[in-house]
Copies of this chain bind each other. A is one copy, B any other.
Amino acid sequence: MPERIAIIGLGLIGGSVARGLRARGHEGVLVGCVRTPADADRALALGLVDEAGTDAAVAVAGADLVVVAVPIGAMADTLATIAPALAPAAAVTDVGSTKLSVIAEARAGLGERFARFVPGHPIAGTEHSGLEAGFAELYAGRRVILTPTAETDADALATVTGLWHGLGARVTEMGAAHHDEVLAATSHLPHVLAFALVDSLARMAERTEIFDYAAGGFADFTRIASSDPTLWSDIVGANRDAILPVLSRYIGDLETLRAAIEQGERAPLMDCFGRAKQARDRFTAARGG
């Protein structure tokens, strides 16, 4: 494991990297970067890192590994800020939920250091955010997708792979475009749907007590609608090209179901619901319950 690790952004994702490294006995120095002196103090008080500040260039100086864990909307600036301060041998990785957009920003921002950049995305998270949202075991048994480019140095890739293995995660490599398509379907689209549903009902609810009669299924279904609106507006903007086709397809599927319901046809509902249950039950079994 690298001796000195800098983590830019200590929210759910970055904070969990810090906590995980601590919990698993990492012996090197952890440096954190946040946006306000008050948060830097709080990060130290929480024991997340050994050193904390608000200047990303200062944070990365001398680091062997830099983990950029800021929102998608802050990636470009952060990468450009740290570029001149990076040690020549430093490996840099990110945790952003979209990969083509971050790769383009890293190419522009890191310049000749781009080969040391390993694009990454841990498939783990909750609806919470901020300094206190993280926990050491967030990545245990979860997948991390790395999307190295043709230019990515093999030893930077090995360093970043080692980081995630050290946190208990399983690492998979795939192309960035493929990553963005898969995540559009399994993560970005569900977030859009959940936000849209809760908003739709909340606007109806001005006149009714609708949420009073929502049961456990509703709570589960809408949990992701408690996620951070800024973070998710950024993600949807950044992965627009992959999200639009799955969203359009989904709207088309809903139109078909609506027509069947309108015409009192039962077979299309049974087919759709039946296939869905089968797929969902297989998914549950594959996850081990």
B213 touches A186 (CB 8 A): yes
> Contacts of A230 on B, CB cut-off 8 Å?
270
Q: Which listed segment binds B: A48-56, A79-87, A102-110, A254-262? A: A254-262
Interface residues in A156-214 by Cβ distance below 8 A to B read 172, 181-183, 185-187, 189-205, 208-214
Tell which of A14-22, A59-67, A121-129 binds the partner. A121-129
Any B CB within 8 A of the CB of A149: no
B218 adjacent to A221 (CB under 8 Å): no
CB pair A225 B257 closer than 8 Å? no
A187–B214 contact, CB under 8 A?
yes
CA distance A229 to B247 in the complex (A): 24
Cβ contact within 8 Å between A197 and B250: yes
- The residue in chain B whose Cβ has the minimal distance to the Cβ of A283 is B211
Interface assignment of A4: CB less than 8 Å from any CB of chain B: no
A228 interface residue, CB < 8 Å from B? yes
Shortest beta-carbon distance from A258 to chain B in Å: 5
Contact of A190 among B127, B218, B254 (CB under 8 A): B218
Nearest-neighbour CB distance to chain B for A211, whole angstroms, equals 5
Is the CB–CB distance between B220 and A204 below 8 Å?
A: no
Chain B residue at minimal CB-CB distance from A256: B196
Q: Which residues of B contact A25 (CB under 8 A)?
A: none
Chain B contacts for A282, CB-based, 8 A: 211
The CA-CA distance from A191 to B212 in the complex, in Å, is: 18
CB pair A197 B193 closer than 8 Å: yes
B277 touches A219 (CB 8 A): no
In which size bucket is the chain A interface?
Answer: 35 or more
A36 within 8 Å of B (CB atoms): no
Q: Closest approach, in angstroms, between the C-beta of A110 and any C-beta of chain B?
A: 25
The 5 A-B residue pairs with the shortest CB-CB distance, nearest first, are A229-B273, A202-B279, A198-B276, A186-B214, A199-B276
Q: Give 25 pairs: A residue, B residue, CB < 8 Å, sorted on A.
A: A123-B213, A143-B212, A182-B208, A182-B210, A182-B213, A190-B218, A190-B221, A196-B254, A196-B276, A198-B279, A199-B253, A200-B246, A200-B253, A202-B276, A203-B275, A205-B279, A219-B284, A220-B220, A221-B221, A223-B280, A226-B280, A229-B276, A232-B273, A237-B261, A251-B254
* Besides A196-B254, A236-B261, 16 new A-B residue pairs in contact (Cβ under 8 A), listed by A number: A123-B215, A187-B215, A192-B257, A193-B197, A193-B221, A194-B276, A211-B283, A211-B286, A217-B224, A222-B283, A223-B280, A226-B280, A229-B273, A232-B269, A233-B266, A251-B251
